[in-house]
Chains A and B, each alone.
Chain A
Amino acid sequence: MVEDAAETPLRIVLAKIGFDGHDRGLRVVARILRDAGCEVIYLGLRQTTDNIVAVAEQEDADAIGLSMHNAGHMTLAPKMVEALRAADMDIPVVVGGIIPDDDIEPLRQAGVAAILGPGASAEEVGRTVRDVVNARA
């Protein structure tokens, strides 16, 4: 059983919520996660929290990665956490993007499992995702 868990790659749903821009950053993160041995279920832009919840259920996701580059993170990230709770799904949410220092603690309080800045190394991204998943398991 333990061996199984170690061998099965982590499945991460990766998305951008809201209406902002392009998916270049998201694609870079997808590649980093793949290189860290994760299976990335890539959703791309303009996702809704409801849609992400449905996808996470279907894909049996281990974690959800949200990329945020506009000011929406303070409302959208907690909304994502809330939507998962409402669906009774205990899946960690990791937020990546340009997040002001002052916002980090409130996001954690809101239930966001980890926050990764744009400067995070590939190693850091992979480790963080594994850590938050293992913390729940």
Chain B
Amino acid sequence: MGRLLSIVERGGPRADEVAKLAHPHVGQAHVIGITGPPGAGKSTLVGKLVAEAENAGKRPAVLAVDPSSPLTGGAILGDRVRIDANNLEAFVRSVATRGHSGGLALSVPGSVRVFDAAGFDPVIVETVGVGQVEVDVTATADTTVVVANPGTGDAVQANKAGLLEVADLFVVNKSDHPGATDVRRDLELMLDLSHVSGAEEIAGGRAPIVMTNSLDGDGIGELWTEIADHHQRLIDSDRLVGRRAHRLQTEVRSRLLTALEQATDALIADRFDATQQTIGESAAPSELSEKLLAELLSPAPPQTEGAAEPGA
């Protein structure tokens, strides 16, 4: 299992092979995304949720994503310290973003599918909700939980990061902190004012807000119930199917774009020499690109060979 996940994380033809093998067995797991700023208590919360799931007789798995250092490519993946503190059964996998955003967008859904096919349910994905990449990753989830931290202006930051739009549920963690009720009020205000709420399936309502203390477990039971309710509503309203179809579409699109980009680069490398001069006739850029596009889109393009060996 650990090895399999490494293959998926590396991407490429072997990852695609794993995906093919897993495919007939996927679709059973409830995928729960947990996102929010660093230090909000996501990992601590995930640990408590895992314990809750295990108590309910389930077999949860966790994918905990943390950023790689852009300078060295290394990473310190510390989520296990908080997650493992609660339980022993769950499968926890720490994932580094490894710099390339597109790679993460592919590898996270890939790893989720491996867990799903192996019978894990729910699959919980923890990401730092700061950039677009991380927000994109939340698209992998059936239920997205945004965790806010009682720090200065956290609700505002969540708004800026585009997290309000993707949230099905909000958690104000560290309810033991005096600022927690303020964050809750800010969130309510912002949701009311902006009319954004991922919880479209609640007629006329906004996404629920749950207060939790992830250290002593206060509010975790309520959160678990809300998560399960959201999942049930998705199923009952046929939205689960819709969301997953949308997810599939997004993934296929991003794969197509990647493939097209590679094919384009190969074609360009083939047709332009190192001195930037066009080989063959000189033509207007529009003319040239039209011609190359026709070549790119023609059936069985010869440059697929070239795409496998860039820089040759």
Closest to A33 in B: B74
Q: Does B5 contact A60, Cβ atoms closer than 8 Å?
A: yes
Q: Does A39 contact B80, Cβ atoms closer than 8 Å?
A: no
**Which residues of B, 81-120, contact A by the 8 Å Cβ criterion?**
81, 84, 91-94, 96, 98
Number of A positions contacting B (CB below 8 A)? 24
Closest to A47 in B: B84
Of the candidate stretches A51-59, A69-77, A93-101, A104-112, the one touching chain B is A51-59
Q: Does B76 contact A59, Cβ atoms closer than 8 Å?
A: no
Closest to B73 in A: A37
| A60 CA / B10 CA spacing, docked (Å) | 13
| A44 CA / B98 CA spacing, docked (Å) | 23
**Which residues of A, 37-71, contact B by the 8 Å Cβ criterion?**
37-44, 51, 55-60
Q: Does B12 contact A57, Cβ atoms closer than 8 Å?
A: no
| A39 CA / B76 CA spacing, docked (Å) | 6
List of A residues within 8 angstroms of B6 by Cβ: 8, 60
Closest to B92 in A: A58
| A73 CA / B96 CA spacing, docked (Å) | 31
A60-B75 CB under 8 A given contacts A4-B12, A41-B80: no
| A14 CA / B68 CA spacing, docked (Å) | 17
| A132 CA / B69 CA spacing, docked (Å) | 23
Nearest-Cβ distance from residue B312 to partner chain A, whole angstroms: 14
List of A residues within 8 angstroms of B73 by Cβ: 9, 37
List of B residues within 8 angstroms of A38 by Cβ: 74
Asked if B269 is at the interface of the complex by the 8 Å CB criterion, the answer is no
| A135 CA / B49 CA spacing, docked (Å) | 40
Nearest-Cβ distance from residue A39 to partner chain B, whole angstroms: 5
Q: Does A31 contact B72, Cβ atoms closer than 8 Å?
A: no
Could you say which of B3, B10, B71, B96 has the most chain A C-beta atoms within 10 Å of its C-beta? B96
Nearest-Cβ distance from residue A136 to partner chain B, whole angstroms: 15
Nearest-Cβ distance from residue A50 to partner chain B, whole angstroms: 10
| A26 CA / B73 CA spacing, docked (Å) | 20
List of A residues within 8 angstroms of B5 by Cβ: 60
Q: Does B96 contact A9, Cβ atoms closer than 8 Å?
A: yes
Residue interface mask A70-90, B partner, CB < 8 A = 1: 000000000000000000000
Could you say which of B3, B6, B77, B81 has the most chain A C-beta atoms within 10 Å of its C-beta? B77
B1 interface neighbour in A33, A41, A44, A58, Cβ under 8 Å: A58
Residues of A near any B CB (own CB < 8 A): 4, 8-9, 30-31, 33-44, 51, 55-60
